[in-house]
C-alpha cells in the first residue's frame, strides 16, 4: 500500500513537471519538443546564444547583466566573433560587472591596430622605424600579398591573460558554464564548431575578421571569423539538447548606400549578407529574442563601449518580465542556486620549462634570452607579456602566442612563433612644406649572408624633390651589442637668406659611409660610436661663389648617447628624449689661399620632454645647445641650420624652429629653448601652442648679442591617422615678415 501511494505521488509529480513545461512552451509561442538534457537536471535547461558584430558585441554585457538580474540560470552558452569573447569570458566565470571594468580599462585603438607600446620598442628600432603604409613579402621575383592588415598580436595577449584561469581545461563542457564558439574554415567554406582545445585560440579564431586580422590555424584548419557562415549559432545549441534558448542579436543592421563609406561598414554589410536564410531560421528558433538598437554604431566603434553596453541593457530590460516569469517557473520545478566561481587572471605561474616552436636557429637564442630566466622559475604574466612584446617589436615575427601546459609542479610554457618572411618590400609616402613630396620604397632582407646572429640588410630609395638612397647592414652580436654599416647618397636644396630675403640657393650632394658599434643597456638607451667618411659637394645656384666641381672629403669620429622613453612617436603626451653628440671633424678642404681647413670639434645636446597634465593635456619642454669648440670653424655643411618645422632626418644638424623658413639661419653656435601646450581635445585630434626662442651666431663674440636673438611662436592643428600624422601650422617670428605656413601629411622618413 505504501509503495502504491509513493508511486502515485511520483506519477503526480511527473505530471506537474510536464504540465508546467507545456505551459512555458505556450507562453513563448513555440513547440519545444522533449530532447535529451545536457545533464541530469530535473528542470528545463537554458541556453544563451550571442551573435557576432564587432564592437556592437559589447551590448552582450548589458544583456547579461539583466539576465542575471532576472535570476535565470544559464546552462550552456555559444557565441560567434565578439559573441565568442563575451560568451567565453562568462563561461569562465567573469561577471557582467567584471567584463564592464575590463572593457573600460582597455586601449581599443591600440588593440585593434596592433600598436606596439613604445616602451617595448628598442631605441634603435625607434630611430629606424618608418611606419610604412604597406609591407609585402616577396619570394624570388614575386611579391606576395599579405593575408591581413594586422597580425592580431595585441588581442592574442589580451585573450591569453583573460583565459589564463582555465588553462588546464581542454574540454569546454568542463567550464563553469559549458561553451562553444564558431569559426569559418576558409579552405572548405564551412562553419566550424569548437568545443575543445585551447580556449584562447578558439576565441581568437572565431573573431578573426577577414582581411583585418590574420587567420588562425586550429586543428589543422585555417580559420577566420565565424560570422561568414554562422553568425547566430542557435542550431548548434539546439543540437546540445537545450530546452529554452535566449538569443542576443547585435547584427543585421543593413546600411543604406550613402552610409557605405568605410571599409568597416562595408565589411559589416558583407557579413550581414552571408547566408541570410540560415540566419532567419536561427532567429525564428529562439524562445526569447533580444535585439539592441545599434543602428548608429558599426563593428569598429570600440570607443563607444559605454553607450553600446547601455543599449544592450536597455533591450534586455524590455524582456525582463519574460525572463523573470521563466526564472520563476523553473524555480517552481526545481530549486536551484546560481553559483559563480571566484575568477580572475593569473598573477604568477611556476614555469618548469620553456619550449619554443616555429623559430629558426638564427633567432632561437634571441627568443630564449629575451625571457632571461633559468628554469624552473616563478614568472608573472606581465613578465611573459613584456618578453613577448619585446620579441614581437623586433619585426622578425608575424605572430607570437603562448599557452600553459600542466606539469607536475607547475606549468610548461610553450611559445608558438610565426616568423616573418625574410624578404619584404615596403612603401611609404610623405609631403611637407619644407621637403616637398616623397615616395619611399624599402627592400629588407633579414638573416642575410649566413650570419650566425640576427642581421638585417635594407635599402631605402626616396623618389622626391630631395631624393636619397640609403643602404644599411646591421648585425646583433648579442641583445645589447650591435655593429653595422650605413651608406647614404642624399641630395638637398637649401636657400640662404640675408635679412629675411633669399640671396642664394645651394644644391647639396652628400655621400656618406658610417661604420659603427652600438651598446644598448636597455630598450630606452643607446651608446653609439663610429667613424664616417663623407664626400660633400656644395654648389651655389645663383652667385657661384663655390666651385661647382669641388668635392670636399671630410672624415670624422663621433660618439652619440641617446635616450628615448616617449609614449608615442607623434604627439607624445609623456616621456623624454635626450641626444648627446660629439664629432671630431677632420676635413680635407682646400681654402681660397691654398691652405687646408683645420680639424674642429662640434658638440650638440637636444632635450625634449612631455609632462602629462591630466588625460588630455601635456606641457612640452625642449632645448637645443650646440657649439664648435676651439678656434677652428667647421665646414659649412657641419654648422647648425635653423628653421622650418619638418622632422625629416636628412641631416642631423637641421633644427626646426617656429616662425623661420626652412634653414633660414645658420651658425657655429646655437642655444634654443622651446615650450608648448598640447591638448588632445577630440579623439585623435590635437591642438598645440608653441613658443621658442634663443640665439644663433657664427662666433662667440656675438653669441648672445641682440642681433643673434630669435623669437618665434606658432599654432598647430594635428591629427593621428593610419597614414601618419596630419599637421597644419601658422607661425611667426622676429626674423621673418608675415606668417609662415606649414603643412605635413604622412609619417616622417
645 vs 630, residue with greater confidence: 645
- Grid coordinates representing 88? 567565453
* Sheet of strand 377-380: strand arrangement: 377-380, 348-357, 411-419, 397-406
Note the pLDDT tens digit of each residue in 382-417: 999 999 998 888 878 888 999 999 998 899 999 999
CA distances to 102, 122, 126, 527, 574 from 524, in Å: 29, 6, 10, 11, 14
Note the pLDDT tens digit of each residue in 479-536: 789 999 999 999 988 877 765 667 677 788 899 999 999 999 988 999 999 999 999 8
What whole-number distance in Å separates Cα of residue 402 and Cα of residue 358?
Answer: 12
Q: What are phi and psi of 688, to 5 degrees?
A: -135, 130
Based on the number of CB atoms within 10 Å of its own CB, is 14 exposed (0-12), middle (13-18) or buried (19 or more)?
A: exposed
pLDDT on residue 551: 52
Which residues, other chains included, contact 258 with Cβ-Cβ below 8 Å and sequence gap of 6+? none
pLDDT higher than threshold 90 for residue 465: no
Which residues, other chains included, contact 500 with Cβ-Cβ below 8 Å and sequence gap of 6+? 735, 736, 737
Which DSSP category does 176 fall into? Answer: S
Q: Quote the percentage of the chain above a pLDDT of 90.
A: 52
State the CB neighbour count (10 A cutoff) for residue 305.
Answer: 18
Contact 311, 292 (CB under 8 A): yes
Pairing outcome for strands 525-540 and 501-522: antiparallel
pLDDT on residue 420: 79
- Among residues 213, 197, 194, 180, the alpha carbon closest in space to that of 47 is found at 180
3-state secondary structure of 32: coil
- Grid coordinates representing 461? 630609395
Contact 99, 89 (CB under 8 A): yes
Beta bridge partners of 717: 687, 728
Q: What is the DSSP string of 318-371?
A: HTHHHHHHHHHHHHHHS-------------EEEEEEEEEES--HHHHHHHHHHH
pLDDT on residue 19: 38
Average pLDDT for 457-478: 90
Which DSSP category does 115 fall into? Answer: P
What whole-number distance in Å separates Cα of residue 657 and Cα of residue 745?
Answer: 18
What radius of gyration do the chain's Cα atoms show? 32
Q: Where are the alpha helices (DSSP H) in 105-217?
A: 108-112, 123-128, 153-162, 199-206
Note the pLDDT tens digit of each residue in 169-214: 999 999 999 999 999 999 998 999 999 999 999 999 999 988 889 8
pLDDT on residue 361: 72
What whole-number distance in Å separates Cα of residue 718 and Cα of residue 697?
Answer: 32
Note the pLDDT tens digit of each residue in 296-333: 888 888 989 999 999 999 999 999 999 999 999 888 88
Note the pLDDT tens digit of each residue in 72-85: 999 999 999 999 99
What whole-number distance in Å separates Cα of residue 698 and Cα of residue 485?
Answer: 33
What whole-number distance in Å separates Cα of residue 667 and Cα of residue 117?
Answer: 38
What whole-number distance in Å separates Cα of residue 731 and Cα of residue 711?
Answer: 11
Q: What are phi and psi of 251, to 5 degrees?
A: -110, -170
What whole-number distance in Å separates Cα of residue 617 and Cα of residue 357?
Answer: 44
What whole-number distance in Å separates Cα of residue 103 and Cα of residue 158?
Answer: 11
Q: What is the DSSP string of 629-645?
A: ESSPPPPGGGSEEE-B-
What whole-number distance in Å separates Cα of residue 276 and Cα of residue 163?
Answer: 32
Which residues, other chains included, contact 80 with Cβ-Cβ below 8 Å and sequence gap of 6+? 50, 51, 52, 181, 182, 206, 225, 226, 227, 230, 231, 232, 233
Q: Taking every pair of C-alpha atoms in the chain, what is the biggest distance, in angstroms?
A: 134
Contact 54, 89 (CB under 8 A): no
Q: pLDDT confidence of 273, banded at 50, 70, 90?
A: low
Note the pLDDT tens digit of each residue in 702-748: 666 777 899 999 999 999 987 889 999 999 999 888 899 999 999 88
What whole-number distance in Å separates Cα of residue 274 and Cα of residue 297?
Answer: 20
- Among residues 232, 235, 238, 236, the alpha carbon closest in space to that of 252 is found at 232
Buried b (16+ CB within 10 A) or exposed e, 600-610: bebebebbbbb
**Grid-cell match 584548419, residue found:** 221
Contact 85, 55 (CB under 8 A): no
Angle at Cα 564 formed by Cα 560 and Cα 567, nearest 5°? 165
Note the pLDDT tens digit of each residue in 551-580: 578 899 999 999 999 998 889 999 999 999
Average pLDDT for 4-20: 41
- Grid coordinates representing 190? 564551412
pLDDT on residue 703: 66
What whole-number distance in Å separates Cα of residue 558 and Cα of residue 548?
Answer: 29
pLDDT higher than threshold 60 for residue 7: no
What is the 3 state secondary structure string of 65-101? HHHHHHCCCCCEEEEECHHHHHHHHHHHCCCHHHHHH
What whole-number distance in Å separates Cα of residue 258 and Cα of residue 272?
Answer: 17
Which DSSP category does 506 fall into? Answer: E
Q: Give the containing element (helix H, strand E) for 611.
A: strand 600-613
Q: Where are the alpha helices (DSSP H) in 419-566?
A: none
* Ranges assigned E (strand) in 523-597: 525-540, 551-564, 575-588
What whole-number distance in Å separates Cα of residue 526 and Cα of residue 559?
Answer: 11
Beta bridge partners of 56: none
pLDDT on residue 422: 72
Q: Quote the percentage of the chain above a pLDDT of 70.
A: 85
Direct distance between the N- and C-terminal alpha carbons of the chain, in angstroms, rounded to an integer: 96
Contact 32, 18 (CB under 8 A): no
Q: What is the DSSP string of 242-290?
A: -SEEEEE-----PPPGGG--SHHHHHHHHHHHTTHHHHHHHHHT-SEEE
671 vs 372, residue with greater confidence: 671
pLDDT on residue 636: 80
604 vs 589, residue with greater confidence: 604
pLDDT on residue 450: 57
pLDDT higher than threshold 70 for residue 591: no
What is the 3 state secondary structure string of 701-727? HHCCCHHHEEEEEEEEEEEEECCEEEE
136 vs 406, residue with greater confidence: 406
pLDDT on residue 540: 74
Beta bridge partners of 217: 222
Percentage helix, strand, coil for the chain under 3-state DSSP, each rounded to 5: 25, 40, 30
Amino acid at each position: 500500500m505504501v509503495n502504491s501511494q509513493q508511486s502515485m505521488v511520483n506519477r503526480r509529480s511527473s505530471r506537474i513537471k510536464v504540465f508546467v513545461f507545456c505551459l512555458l512552451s505556450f507562453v513563448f509561442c513555440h513547440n519545444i519538443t522533449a530532447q535529451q538534457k545536457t545533464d541530469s537536471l530535473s528542470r528545463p535547461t537554458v541556453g544563451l546564444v550571442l551573435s557576432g558584430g564587432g564592437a556592437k558585441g559589447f551590448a552582450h554585457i548589458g544583456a547579461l547583466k539583466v539576465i542575471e538580474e532576472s535570476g535565470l540560470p544559464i546552462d550552456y552558452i555559444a557565441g560567434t566573433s565578439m559573441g565568442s569573447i563575451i560568451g567565453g569570458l562568462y563561461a569562465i566565470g567573469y561577471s557582467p560587472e567584471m567584463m564592464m571594468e575590463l572593457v573600460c580599462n582597455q586601449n581599443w585603438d591600440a588593440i585593434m591596430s596592433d600598436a606596439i607600446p613604445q616602451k617595448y620598442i628598442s631605441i634603435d628600432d625607434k630611430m629606424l622605424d618608418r611606419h610604412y603604409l604597406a609591407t609585402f613579402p616577396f619570394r624570388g621575383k614575386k611579391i606576395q600579398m599579405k593575408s591581413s592588415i594586422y597580425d592580431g598580436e595585441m588581442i592574442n595577449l589580451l585573450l591569453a591573460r583573460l583565459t589564463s584561469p582555465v588553462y588546464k581545461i581542454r574540454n569546454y563542457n568542463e567550464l563553469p558554464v559549458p561553451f562553444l564558439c564558431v569559426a569559418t574554415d576558409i579552405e572548405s567554406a564551412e562553419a566550424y564548431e569548437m568545443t575543445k582545445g585551447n580556449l584562447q585560440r578558439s576565441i581568437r579564431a572565431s573573431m578573426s575578421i577577414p582581411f583585418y586580422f590574420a587567420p588562425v590555424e586550429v586543428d589543422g584548419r585555417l580559420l577566420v571569423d565565424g560570422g561568414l557562415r554562422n553568425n547566430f549559432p542557435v542550431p548548434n545549441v539546439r543540437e546540445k539538447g537545450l530546452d529554452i534558448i535566449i538569443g542576443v542579436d547585435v547584427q543585421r543592421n543593413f546600411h543604406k548606400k550613402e552610409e557605405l563609406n568605410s571599409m568597416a561598414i562595408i565589411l559589416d554589410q558583407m557579413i550581414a549578407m552571408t547566408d541570410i536564410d540560415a540566419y532567419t531560421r536561427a532567429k525564428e528558433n529562439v524562445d526569447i529574442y533580444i535585439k539592441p538598437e545599434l543602428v548608429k554604431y558599426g563593428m569598429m566603434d570600440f570607443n563607444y563601449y559605454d553607450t553600446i553596453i547601455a543599449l544592450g541593457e536597455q533591450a534586455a530590460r524590455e524582456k525582463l518580465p519574460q525572463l523573470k516569469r521563466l526564472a520563476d517557473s523553473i524555480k517552481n520545478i526545481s530549486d536551484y542556486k546560481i553559483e559563480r566561481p571566484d575568477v580572475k587572471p593569473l598573477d604568477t605561474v611556476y614555469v618548469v620549462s620553456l619550449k619554443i616552436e616555429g623559430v629558426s636557429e638564427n633567432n632561437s637564442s634571441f627568443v630564449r634570452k629575451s625571457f632571461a630566466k633559468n628554469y624552473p622559475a616563478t614568472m608573472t604574466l606581465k613578465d611573459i607579456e613584456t618578453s613577448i612584446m619585446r620579441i614581437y617589436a623586433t619585426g622578425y615575427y608575424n605572430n607570437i602566442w603562448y599557452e600553459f601546459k600542466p606539469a607536475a609542479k607547475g606549468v610548461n610554457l610553450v611559445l608558438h612563433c610565426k616568423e616573418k618572411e625574410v624578404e619584404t618590400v615596403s612603401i611609404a609616402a610623405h609631403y611637407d612644406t619644407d621637403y616637398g613630396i616623397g615616395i619611399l620604397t624599402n627592400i629588407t632582407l633579414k638573416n642575410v649572408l649566413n650570419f650566425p646572429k640576427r642581421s638585417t640588410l635594407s635599402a631605402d630609395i626616396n623618389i622626391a624633390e630631395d631624393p636619397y638612397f640609403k643602404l644599411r647592414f646591421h648585425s646583433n652580436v648579442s641583445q645589447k651589442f650591435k655593429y653595422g654599416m650605413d651608406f647614404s647618397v642624399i641630395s638637398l636644396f637649401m636657400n640662404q637668406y640675408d635679412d629675411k630675403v633669399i640671396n642664394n640657393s645651394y644644391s647639396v650632394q652628400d655621400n656618406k659611409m658610417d661604420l659603427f658599434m652600438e651598446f644598448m643597456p636597455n630598450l630606452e638607451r643607446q651608446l653609439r660610436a663610429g667613424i664616417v667618411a663623407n664626400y660633400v659637394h656644395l654648389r651655389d645656384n645663383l652667385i657661384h661663389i663655390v666651385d661647382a666641381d669641388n668635392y670636399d672629403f671630410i672624415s670624422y669620429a663621433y660618439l652619440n648617447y641617446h635616450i628615448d622613453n616617449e609614449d608615442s612617436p607623434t604627439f607624445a603626451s609623456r616621456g623624454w628624449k635626450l641626444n648627446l653628440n660629439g664629432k671630431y671633424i677632420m676635413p680635407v678642404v682646400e681654402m681660397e689661399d691654398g691652405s687646408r681647413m683645420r680639424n674642429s670639434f662640434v658638440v650638440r645636446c637636444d632635450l625634449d620632454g612631455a609632462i602629462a597634465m591630466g588625460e588630455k593635456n601635456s606641457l612640452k619642454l625642449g632645448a637645443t645647445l650646440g657649439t664648435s669648440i676651439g678656434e677652428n670653424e667647421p665646414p659649412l655643411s657641419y654648422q647648425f641650420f635653423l628653421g622650418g618645422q619638418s622632422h625629416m632626418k636628412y641631416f642631423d644638424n637641421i633644427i626646426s624652429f617656429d616662425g623661420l623658413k626652412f634653414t633660414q639661419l645658420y651658425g657655429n653656435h646655437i642655444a634654443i629653448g622651446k615650450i608648448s601646450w598640447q591638448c588632445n581635445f577630440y579623439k585623435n585630434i590635437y591642438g598645440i601652442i608653441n613658443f621658442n626662442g634663443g640665439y644663433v651666431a657664427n662666433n662667440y663674440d656675438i653669441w648672445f648679442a641682440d642681433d643673434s636673438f630669435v623669437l618665434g611662436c606658432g599654432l598647430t592643428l594635428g591629427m593621428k591617422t593610419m597614414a601618419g600624422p596630419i599637421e597644419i601650422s601658422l607661425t611667426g617670428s622676429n626674423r621673418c615678415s608675415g606668417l609662415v605656413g606649414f603643412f605635413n601629411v604622412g609619417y616622417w622618413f
